[in-house]
Amino acid sequence: MNFYFRICAFTIFGMFSEIAFTQTNSNSVTDIDGNIYPTVLIGTQTWMAENLRAIHYSNGDPVEMVKDGDQWSEMTTGAYCNNDNKKKNAGIYGRLYNFYAVSDSRKICPAGWHVPNAADWKRLETTLGGTGAAGGKMKQAGTRYWAEPNTRADNSSGFNGLPGGARNTDGSFEAVEEKGHWWTATEFSATSAWHRSLYNNTAFIDNIYGYKTDGYSIRCIKDK
C-alpha cells in the first residue's frame, strides 16, 4: 500500500513551495545480517527509515565490536558498539559506528545502497524546507524516545529520526533521548568527517564535523 503526502507552505500572497513524498509500506531493504528496514521516498531520494544495525560489511566480513572505551579511542579501523554497551539500545536506535566503518571499501550498507555524502544530506535538507525546518520534519513525533519538548517534531517526511546519542572519541557515551547524529561519507580532514545532527529542543538540522573515532548512527540511501 502506498501513501502519498504533500506539504505546502503559504504566505499572505499564497502558496510558494510544495514538497511531496511517498512512503511505501511494502518497500524495504535487508542488510547482510538479515535486518529488515522500511524505506521512504523523500523528494527524489530513497532513504532507510531506520538506523543501521548491521555488524558485518556487505561482503560478509565482520565489523569489530568494541566495548572498551580506551580501545575505542585508539581505533584506526572500522568498529561499532551499542550506546552505553546495551543491546536494547541497538534494537531501538540502531548501532553506533566510527568513521572507519563508513569509509571501509567493503561497504557497511546493503548492496545498492550507500552512506550518504554531504551533498545527499544537503538535498534532503533542501527538500524539507531548509536548515531551520527540516529537523522537525525528520524527527519522530512525541516524547516516547525524544526528551521533551521535541520541538516541532511531526515526522512529516517519514524519515523517523531517533535520538541515538553518540560515542565520543574518548570512549564515553552521549546519552540517548536528546540528540541524534548521523555520519556523512564526506571527510573534513585527515582525522575528522562531517555529520548531521538533530536535537530535542529545536527543529534545526546541524551540519558539523567530528573526529573519525566518534561513534554515530548511519542511515543508508539508495544508489541512483
Q: What angle do CA 1, 30, 20 make, to 5 degrees?
A: 40
Q: Going residue by residue through the chain (224 aa), what tens digit of pLDDT does each one get? A: 444 344 444 333 343 334 434 443 449 999 999 999 999 999 999 999 999 999 999 999 999 999 999 999 999 999 999 999 999 999 999 999 999 999 999 999 999 999 999 999 999 999 999 999 999 999 999 999 999 999 999 999 999 999 999 999 999 999 999 999 999 999 999 999 999 999 999 999 999 999 999 999 999 999 98
- CA-CA distance, 208 to 224, in Å (whole number)? 26
Check residue 77 and give its pLDDT: 98
Residues in Cβ contact with 130 at an 8 Å cutoff, skipping those fewer than 6 apart: none
Directed axis angle between helix 131-138 and helix 118-127, to 10°?
A: 90
pTM of the full predicted structure?
0.88
What is the predicted pLDDT for the residue at 1? 40
Please answer whether residues 19 and 43 qualify as being in contact, where contact means their C-beta atoms are separated by less than 8 angstroms. Answer: yes
Domain boundaries, the chain: 52-222
Q: Residue 86 has what pLDDT?
A: 98
* pLDDT for 9: 42
What's the pLDDT at 19?
A: 42
